[in-house]
Structure 1
Amino acid sequence: MGTIVVKFGGPAIATPEKIQLVAQRVIEEKQRGLHVVVVISSMTTIRRELRQFAADISDEPSKREMDVLIATGTQMASALLAIAIQERGVKATSLAGWQAGVTTNQQHRNARVERVDTSRIVNHLEQDEIVIVAGFQGVDDKGDITTLGKGGSETTAVALAVALGADHVDIYTNVDGIYTADPNVVKSARKLKELSYDEMLELSNLGAHIIHPRAVELAKKFEMPVIVRSSIVDVEGTLLKGDVEVEKNLIVRGVAYEADVIRLTIGYDSYEAASLAEIFSILAENSINVDIIVQAVIDGVKPTISFTIAKEEFAEALRVLESSKLSLGFSFADFEVGLAKVSIVGSGMVSNPGVAARMFDRLRKEHIAVKMVSTSEIKVSVVVPQEAMVQAANALHDEFHLAERVAIG
């Protein structure tokens, strides 16, 4: 008998009625003759209330206790789904992360899965039960509850699938698959049948918040097929796998964007004083993620290093830089807000030169200023004024004909 792992997010289980719908869908998978393991996120309202309770008690609650607290929300959701399944006459058992054998490192609030012992899950499956696992959590070697941070439930689902040798993972979301762009912004966007792990990883990192990069990385490492599909309607989703059938002439496969990008610039009196390693080591030690980096060294001009960060990390980045100014040796720091990042992604770009030039030319024709650029083998990203973000996304989607259904060949 085959095994699948399915994951449902908070919106899919937000009400008793929605939990009932999820229960029915899970049972239908079971009735196809499969072992079914369900990974659940916590209900958004419950998670918010738990955090507010902690905030009302303490300005700085400990990370350990916050992990214990937040983990209960996911456990509540998994128990409720188990009850709904049992009410339909089907055997089901809910398990907390530690009961499901998920062991992590000791980094509270952002732990990483280190190993999975599936023996208890397998025992329940062999008793013909549906197993519901509280996602987003595990336990470290000290026996303390940990949570996995952003994308934790998706990462849990993929980790369990790998450990169980599952056929595939189904990630149920509020969209019915992966589109060539966000259909709420680009009206001509269309759903893709297949996408490679690398393409999905780039899109996820570039602002397409459908499946977290950590889950994609894990799926790619162990070649675990992942299907992104709708929790609302029963339609075919998008399959993520290693090698995909490339649509003929479709060099670019998707457009992604990210708002609220901030550019920080650090200046030095001399090139000898500038140290990229020292700057980014200090930022990394403080868990500040840096994206596009540009170093300018021009004769007769003071050297600068510019990089982009997310809006929510801006205040912390300024604090870290200011406190480390003497050791880093920079003479000034400046910043620019009101920026966005727009990117094109496609594995076909590797063997097709000139894609970046075509992108830049279209943005020029649209009178959109390009402030920074970053490239890889399968993506090109540009930083543009935020008010031009939607215009740029639509223009690039049109430029590379992503709305057209083209033949496979």
Structure 2
Amino acid sequence: MTSVVVKIDSFSLSTPANIEQISKRIVEEKKRGRNIIVVVSSEELLEEPYRKFAYALSKQPSKRELDVLQSIGSQATSALLAIAIQQRGFKAVSLTGWQAGIETVEVNQKVRIEQIKIESIINYISKGDIPIVAGSQGFDYKNNKISILGMGGSDTTAVAIAAAIEAECVEILTNSEGIYTAEPSIVPRAKKLKQISYDELLELTHLGSKIVHPRAVEMAKKYDMPIIVRSSTSDIPGTLIKGEVEMEKNLIVRGVAYEAEIIRLTVGYEKYEHALLANIFTTLADHQIDVDIIVQSVIDGVKPTVSFSIDKEDFADAIKVLESNKSTLGFSFADFEVGLAKVSIVGSGMVSNPGVAARMFNRLCKENIPVKMVSTSEIKVSVVVPQEDMVRAANALHDEFNLVEEYV
């Protein structure tokens, strides 16, 4: 009998009515003769009162105890869904991360899954139960504590379990009907894709798409685990994420992504000999500051500069790190520009179709949208533009590459 891991987002489990609807959906899947393992996301509304209590009792509550509090939401949700399924006459059991055999380790202050001992899950499946696993948590045996996987933890939990038990696929039930060519709230004419590759989705998730977390996509690619993203409220086809996809009507570009609140930092040097890129970016990396687009300017007779883009939340830390290491890094000044956004096009078809970037720049020029910075890869072109032009740029590029056609 084939097995399927079904991951359900927190929105789809936020009310008793929603839980009832999902329980019906899970039972229907079980009736089709497949083993179903469910992973639920954390329900923050269940956690928040306890977090407020913690900060009322201490200005700096320990991370260990905050992790315990953060685990409450997904544990409660898994129990509630189990009760709803049992009410429909089917066997279900809620499992915490450690009960599901999820063992974690902490590396560079980040928690990752070390292994999954599948005996517990397999045992429940063999007895006809539907295991419902609390997502985004595991157990750190080295330090004898509950651990939280952080952003994208529930998606990653689902993919990890699927890989461990050699499931057929992972189904992600969410409030979206699938992966779209762009965010519909920004690009109203966006269309749902039938398929998308791991690499294409990885680019889109790193560029702002939030349907599936990139760490889960990376794991799915590693184990070649198909993911289906579909609606939690209606039983209609979603989007299949896999290794190689069929080209849809010669679709060169498969999606447009955007990211607001981008800041450009520029560091200037008196002499080229001082402009050692390794020094500045190693220093920023040592302080956990991610940079994105990098542009170096070295022209005879002009003082060299290095510009790079960062997210708004990293700005204050980046300035602090640069100023405190100014003498070591050897730069003469640091400047910045705010009010920027990043707009990107993504598609595996770019590899065999030259001129895509030129077409992108030409359309933005026609729209009178200035391009501040550019970054490219085999399947992506990103530009930094004024934030006030972000929505217009995204819609123009969506139209330019014919993504308004119906693909599914």
Same fold (TM over 0.5): yes
Matches of 2:335 and 2:111 in 1, distance apart? 33
Conservation of the 8 A alpha-carbon contact between 1:169 and 1:224 = yes
Q: Which residue in 1 is equivalent to 2:366?
A: 365
Deviation at 1:272, TM superposition (A): 1.7
Deviation at 1:49, TM superposition (A): 3.4
> What amino acid does structure 2 have at the position aligned with 1:71?
S
Instruction: Classify the secondary structure of the residue corresponding to 1:78.
Output: helix
Matches of 2:54 and 2:303 in 1, distance apart? 48
Q: Which residue in 2 is equivalent to 1:124?
A: 124
Deviation at 1:16, TM superposition (A): 1.4
Conservation of the 8 A alpha-carbon contact between 1:267 and 1:333 = yes
Deviation at 1:399, TM superposition (A): 0.4
Q: Are positions 1:378 and 2:392 aligned together? A: no
Q: Which residue in 2 is equivalent to 1:111?
A: 111
Q: Which residue in 1 is equivalent to 2:190?
A: 189
**Superposed counterparts of 1:211-226, under 5 Å:** 211-226=212-227
Instruction: Classify the secondary structure of the residue corresponding to 1:105.
Output: strand
Q: Are positions 1:71 and 2:71 aligned together? A: yes
The worse-fitting range, judged by mean Cα deviation, of 328-337 and 122-131 is 328-337
Instruction: Classify the secondary structure of the residue corresponding to 2:248.
Output: coil
* RMSD between superposed Cα atoms in Å: 1.6
Conservation of the 8 A alpha-carbon contact between 1:42 and 1:73 = yes
Counting aligned pairs with the same residue, the percent is 62
Matches of 1:95 and 1:222 in 2, distance apart? 24
TM-score computed with the length of structure 2 as normaliser: 0.96
Q: Which residue in 1 is equivalent to 2:136?
A: 136
Matches of 1:50 and 1:359 in 2, distance apart? 49
Deviation at 1:172, TM superposition (A): 1.1
Q: Which residue in 2 is equivalent to 1:14?
A: 14
Deviation at 1:92, TM superposition (A): 0.8
Deviation at 1:309, TM superposition (A): 1.3
Matches of 1:61 and 1:321 in 2, distance apart? 30
Q: In 2 relative to 1, CA 35–111 (structure 1 residues): closer, same or farther, beyond 3 Å?
A: same
**Superposed counterparts of 1:39-188, under 5 Å:** 39-107=39-107, 110-142=110-142, 143-188=144-189
Matches of 1:104 and 1:302 in 2, distance apart? 49
Matches of 1:83 and 1:11 in 2, distance apart? 18
Matches of 1:41 and 1:306 in 2, distance apart? 39
Q: In 2 relative to 1, CA 56–326 (structure 1 residues): closer, same or farther, beyond 3 Å?
A: farther
Matches of 1:9 and 1:406 in 2, distance apart? 26
Conservation of the 8 A alpha-carbon contact between 2:350 and 2:356 = yes
Conservation of the 8 A alpha-carbon contact between 1:12 and 1:173 = yes
Q: Which residue in 1 is equivalent to 2:208?
A: 207
> What amino acid does structure 2 have at the position aligned with 1:372?
M
Matches of 2:285 and 2:60 in 1, distance apart? 22
Deviation at 1:325, TM superposition (A): 2.2
Matches of 1:50 and 1:302 in 2, distance apart? 55
Deviation at 1:205, TM superposition (A): 0.7
Q: In 2 relative to 1, CA 319–270 (structure 1 residues): closer, same or farther, beyond 3 Å?
A: same
Matches of 2:379 and 2:50 in 1, distance apart? 41
The worse-fitting range, judged by mean Cα deviation, of 134-143 and 162-171 is 134-143
Matches of 2:233 and 2:108 in 1, distance apart? 33
Matches of 1:178 and 1:298 in 2, distance apart? 44
Q: Are positions 1:347 and 2:348 aligned together? A: yes
Conservation of the 8 A alpha-carbon contact between 1:171 and 1:228 = yes
Instruction: Classify the secondary structure of the residue corresponding to 2:138.
Output: strand
Structure 1 unaligned regions, length at least 5: none
Instruction: Classify the secondary structure of the residue corresponding to 1:103.
Output: strand
Matches of 2:256 and 2:200 in 1, distance apart? 11
Q: In 2 relative to 1, CA 17–115 (structure 1 residues): closer, same or farther, beyond 3 Å?
A: same
Instruction: List per-residue Cα deviations over 1:81-107 (Å, max 9, x = no partner).
Output: 111111222111111111111112225
Instruction: Classify the secondary structure of the residue corresponding to 2:299.
Output: coil
Matches of 1:67 and 1:406 in 2, distance apart? 43
Deviation at 1:227, TM superposition (A): 0.1
Deviation at 1:51, TM superposition (A): 3.4
Matches of 1:79 and 1:257 in 2, distance apart? 37
**Superposed counterparts of 1:268-283, under 5 Å:** 268-283=269-284
Instruction: Classify the secondary structure of the residue corresponding to 1:297.
Output: strand
Q: Are positions 1:301 and 2:302 aligned together? A: yes
Matches of 1:283 and 1:34 in 2, distance apart? 49
Conservation of the 8 A alpha-carbon contact between 1:67 and 1:109 = no
Q: Are positions 1:2 and 2:2 aligned together? A: yes
Deviation at 1:314, TM superposition (A): 1.6
Conservation of the 8 A alpha-carbon contact between 1:340 and 1:384 = yes
TM-score computed with the length of structure 1 as normaliser: 0.96
The worse-fitting range, judged by mean Cα deviation, of 164-173 and 63-72 is 63-72
